[in-house]
A and B are shown apart, each in its own frame.
Chain A
Amino acid sequence: MGDHSSPEHIKKTVRTYLIIGAALLVGTILTVWASYIDFGSVVWNITVALIIATVKSSLVAGFFMHLISERKTIYATLATTAFFFVALMALTLWSMHDFPSFSLVHY
């Protein structure tokens, strides 16, 4: 929290926390609702669900975990983590080409 820990500021952020909490509940309903809509292919349904989940998790990380106003040390740690996480997922996607041609591929 650093410099933003005065009682006045905390009181203001309590309101923000409640709004974010409500937004997350709405986001959950949205996720369930979207799963019942046929967006044309499973790939699109997965994309929509992951976009909503990413927005929700950004709200949690940004506001509840105070990442919108943190110290450099934490940003540096997370940047490293993000790099390796993306690399892991990229390797996963890359390996898709390695499935034997006779195996069926389903989404």
Chain B
Amino acid sequence: MDIPYTIEPRRDTGLYNAKVGIWLFLASEVMLFGALFSSYVLLRVGSNSWPHGLLNIPIGTFNTFVLITSSVTVVLAWANLKLHNFGRAKMYLALTILCALAFLGIKSKEYNDKFIHYSIRTTDGKEMTGHIEGDPHFLTLKKLRAKKVEAISFAADPEKDARGHETKEAKAEEKAHAGHHEFKPIKVSDLTYVSTYVPAHHTYFAIYFTLTGLHGLHVLGGALVMTYILLFSNKMWKTQPDRVTNRVEVAGLFWHFVDLVWIFLFPVLYLL
């Protein structure tokens, strides 16, 4: 049985069915992300402290560029299908998928950086962030004690102001050490808290991983759909080119939405 209205518009809506479908889906997505943004606001306002400057801004900015570029390439893929340049459209679709993979690769690297970045507290009440020598993942005080480790070698982060920007003194000191931080031993018996930047460490990371994780899943989903279209459209292009064009338009609408969500996520999580 043929699926109706894959190409020709329905008289009542004036649209082919998939387009109505994707917009209804996107409407539900607005509410899904809206609920999470609302949670973010409530968590932030209700929190006793909100950290700043814990994410890598240059990497986040670059990833924003990658996602914007992919939004341009996917719309160019659609435009080329409209112009009947199938080969060129496939190239733009492939570029979009590459951008999606680059975004996910960079995001994974960012996640990994958080899983080796530590926050520690000592018995004298001092709180520090930094790295443990050898960059071990997910260490906790409980694990250190279980392994009977006597001391850790810790390099503290440069000092930051209240808004998360490095202080002038810290920048000068970093320059003097040519970017290398000094590792200093700290006895495990002097530690009261050890945690990497995992969701359990702070509400900020809980909402950060929830929002970016869900967004990342959307990027993955979009990339899978576009890969399917890229690989399995040759036959359909010969018989129903408009249907292929519409498929790319629908996938593109989803993709632009994913970009749109990131446009808000980036400043909210990285900059503010």
Contact surface of A with B, Cβ cutoff 8 Å: 1-2, 5, 7, 10-11, 13-14, 17-18, 20-21, 24-25, 28-29, 31-32, 35-36, 38, 42, 45-46, 49-50, 52-53, 56-57, 60-61, 64-65, 71-74, 77-78, 80-81, 84-85, 88-89, 91-93, 95-96, 99, 103-107
> Which chain B residue shows the least CB distance to A104?
B48
Contacts of A72 in B (CB 8 A): 14
How many residue pairs between the two chains, A and B, have CB atoms under 8 Å in the bound complex? 137
Beta-carbon contact of A77 and B27 below 8 Å: yes
Beta-carbon contact of A92 and B41 below 8 Å: yes
| 23 A–B pairs (Cβ distance < 8 Å), ordered by A | A1-B249, A7-B83, A10-B82, A14-B76, A17-B72, A17-B79, A21-B68, A24-B68, A28-B64, A32-B271, A38-B163, A49-B267, A49-B271, A52-B267, A56-B263, A64-B75, A64-B256, A71-B14, A73-B20, A85-B34, A88-B38, A92-B42, A103-B48
- Minimum CB–CB distance from B60 to chain A (whole Å) comes to 9
- Per the CB 8 Å criterion, the residue count for chain B at the interface is 52
Interface SS of chain A: helix
Beta-carbon contact of A60 and B266 below 8 Å: no
Given contacts A32-B271, A74-B23, A99-B46, are A60 and B83 in contact (CB under 8 A)?
A: no
Contacts of B64 in A (CB 8 A): 28
- Minimum CB–CB distance from A60 to chain B (whole Å) comes to 5
| Chain A CB within 8 A of B214 CB | no
Contacts of A29 in B (CB 8 A): 61
| Chain A CB within 8 A of B239 CB | no
Docked CA distance A30–B75 (Å): 24
Docked CA distance A89–B24 (Å): 20
Interface centre among A25, A46, A50, A81 (most CB of B within 10 A): A81
Contact surface of B with A, Cβ cutoff 8 Å: 13-15, 19-20, 23-24, 27, 30-31, 34-35, 37-38, 41-42, 44-50, 57, 61, 64-65, 68-69, 71-72, 75-76, 79, 82-83, 163, 165, 249, 252-253, 256-257, 259-260, 263-264, 266-268, 271-272
Given contacts A28-B65, A88-B35, A88-B38, are A50 and B44 in contact (CB under 8 A)?
A: no
Further contacts, 15 of them, CB under 8 A, given A81-B31, A107-B44: A1-B249, A2-B14, A24-B68, A25-B65, A53-B266, A60-B256, A64-B71, A71-B13, A73-B13, A74-B23, A77-B24, A77-B27, A89-B38, A106-B45, A107-B50
